[in-house]
Amino acid sequence: MPRPREFCVNEALDSAMDAFWKNGYEATSLFDLMEAMDLQKGSIYKAFGDKHSLFVAALQHYLEQAHMFDQSVLEDARSPREGIRAWLNRDIKQKCGDDMKRGCLMVNALTELAYKDEEVAKIIKTHIADLSKLLTRTIQQGQDMNQFRTDISAGELAQLLITHLFGLATMGKAVSSKSSTLQGNKNILMLLEGCV
């Protein structure tokens, strides 16, 4: 009978995720991961495989959490408009207070790896497709309630929101402030409502 693992897989993935998020994939060494996860090399390899497999697991862990959060924010809101507003303003305080300027782990992976790593690209593509479905459904509900413009399809508006948020995540690593981010979100919401 095999011995049970003496660590929590989700906690280990949280720690690996933070290490990759802070340093990026290429710059994160096995030693960095061992230190962050408080595990020996053999335990990491046995549980997760090589560094790339661990990164993939950490990225999927991150995206699962993001999807649950997105779904909760959009579906539990009082109205589609409030859902989209809450989604846009999702974690401004946390991101703007992040002294390390880590941005979004998925966007970081997209720019660092997706162009040369098919597995990472596929994971991100699937997440974006799932997010697009959530947003499209919420926007369609808002259009049916006359909360959002109807001269542009819900799917196209969803894609605009995704591009806007990922742009903010990228810009936030260097130049965006809380006030400019809030103003950008206000402007994009006005555009959805057909006010500009």
Residue 95's pLDDT is 57
Total domains present in the chain: 1
Please report whether residue 27 resides in a domain. Answer: no
Question: Containing domain of residue 85, as a range?
Answer: 59-193
pLDDT at residue 85, rounded to an integer: 94
User: Residue 186 is part of a domain; what is its CATH number?
Assistant: 1.10.357.10
Residue 170 domain flag:
yes
Q: How far is CA 139 from CA 7, 58, 128, 176, 193, in A?
A: 42, 30, 16, 26, 10
Residue 169 lies in a domain: yes
pLDDT for res 24 = 94
Closest of 47, 52, 49, 45 to residue 20, by C-alpha: 52
Residue 28 included in any domain: no
CA distance 144 to 181: 28
Residue 3 has a pLDDT of: 45
Torsion angle of the four alpha carbons 69, 70, 71, 73, in this order, in degrees rounded to the nearest 10: 80
Does residue 136 belong to any structural domain of this protein? yes
Question: What is the DSSP code (8-state) at residue 5?
Answer: P
Question: Is 30 part of a structural domain of the chain?
Answer: no
Pick the closest to residue 163 from 184, 149, 141 (CA basis): 184
Amino acid sitting at position 75: E
User: Is residue 156 included in any domain, yes or no?
Assistant: yes
Closest by CA position to 73, among listed 52, 57, 89, 62: 89
pLDDT digit string (tens) for the chain, length 196 residues: 444 456 688 999 999 999 999 999 999 999 999 999 999 999 999 999 999 999 999 999 999 999 999 999 999 999 999 999 999 988 665 555 555 567 889 999 999 998 999 999 999 999 999 999 999 999 999 999 999 999 999 999 999 999 998 888 887 666 667 777 888 889 999 999 987 5
Could you tell me which of 72, 80, 76, 73 has the C-alpha nearest to residue 148? 80
Q: Give the pTM.
A: 0.87
